[in-house]
Chains A and B, each alone.
Chain A
Amino acid sequence: MTKLRVATTWLDGCSGCHMSLLDIDERLIDLAENIDILYGPLVDFKSIPKNLDLALVEGAVSNEDDLKKIQKLRKRSKILVALGDCAVTANVPAMRNQFGVPAIMERAYEENADLNPMHPNTLIPALLPRARPIREIVPVDVFIPGCPPPADVIYHALCELIEGRIPDLSDITRFGL
């Protein structure tokens, strides 16, 4: 059996879903016989590879960089998984949505700055008007709610996907958790 080509990525989230992925612990060794993680915060490749079988996406789509990444990942992977509440519902990152970008930039870079208050204008990607769940930007194949989804749920989902099945997860995870 050829290994699944997998990418993981971390958009506007806290990395908790990746931590939960690592919490699969020794079962990761079993998984490694069936999957190759080619891209993401856990590996060193800098560009998104082509012909992916699976993309696990943590976080909401909040800035221009997130937007480019999610569009590229969608084009290059057969199955796209929204991993965790931020990816599924926009969750905590979306709590800024009701205030608008100018107000939160002012709060973060002026009101709360002790020294030299100024807005970032290079290197840091600009915020989109709203943090949005992935499915409002690109089609999503599998939703794994939970903040974070428990390691057992992620393991179960990966095992099903390796077997070529779309997992039904509503029994074992939910929003928040």
Chain B
Amino acid sequence: MSSKVRIFTFRIDDRDVSAREDESILTVAKENGIFIPTLCHVDGLTPVGACRLCMVEIAGRPKLYPACVTKVEEGVQIITKSDRLTRYRRTILELIFSERNHVCSVCVSNGHCELQSLTQKLGMTHIHVPYRFPNLEVDASHDRFIMDHNRCILCTRCVRVCAEIEGAHTRDVMGRGVDTRIICDLNQPWGTSETCTGCGKCVHVCPTGALVEKGKSASEMAKQQEFLPYLTIMREEKE
């Protein structure tokens, strides 16, 4: 880190805050105890701005900014709560629910799911858009893990943790729009992958029940994500 790093001062909602120029709006908000909803973001992985839930307003500018990938600026007024943001965030969640088959009551991740708990945080009791009910695969070909595409929200945390932390890059993304899928290697069953090390990091960063351990029943799949920031910090120190 260069000693010439600049410090910016600006406002988030009604708070005056200061931060290093290389920090994201989301990081600074978190440090100051200001809640911004996120799904694709997880501490320790490169932010990608995929889920768009962390969108914030900057006073005087018409467009919205994803807080996880937007760096702070001197003198700006950042707004994290407004009727427009609430409406957009709820619509994003509703579209996620309608796009695949999320059946919380019988899901192994019931009670441990970030998607499920966000509905409550954003005050959502039902969805307004029609459900699609697509016919999707469940890949149980791996010895210890299952990928259930019905519950995947395409946050790409699994892709990133596999590439950035485990260094295997077994997972990637295929297709576009509603046809987008998370795949293993060259779109083959997980159990036949030659690059997967079976480390299970993808399972534990997955925010929903899309990636789970075998043998878990409803509500039993609690995830452990604490390892991730430590691994990242330890590696940075080594460099």
Contact = CB atoms under 8 A, between A and B. Distances in A.
Interface residues of A, number: 30
B135 A99 contact: yes
B103 interface: yes
Contacts of B186: none
B91 interface: no
A10 interface: no
A143 B120 CA distance: 13
B104 A147 contact: yes
B78 to A, nearest CB: 26
B131 A133 contact: yes
A97 interface: yes
Interface string B122-161: 0111111011011110000000000000000000000000
Interface stretch (A25-33, A46-54, A81-89): A81-89
Interface stretch (B46-54, B111-119, B165-173, B231-239): B111-119
Contacts of B117: 174
A73 interface: no
Given A92-B103, A92-B106, A82 B126 contact: yes
A171 interface: yes
A90 interface: yes
Contacts of B131: 89-90, 94, 97, 133
Contact of B103 (A95, A169, A177): A95
Closest 10 pairs (CB-CB, A-B): A176-B104, A147-B105, A97-B133, A98-B135, A170-B123, A143-B125, A175-B104, A143-B126, A174-B120, A176-B110
Given A174-B119, A176-B110, 19 more contacts: A85-B104, A85-B105, A88-B125, A89-B126, A92-B106, A94-B133, A98-B133, A98-B135, A98-B136, A140-B126, A170-B125, A173-B125, A175-B102, A175-B104, A175-B105, A176-B107, A176-B111, A176-B113, A176-B116
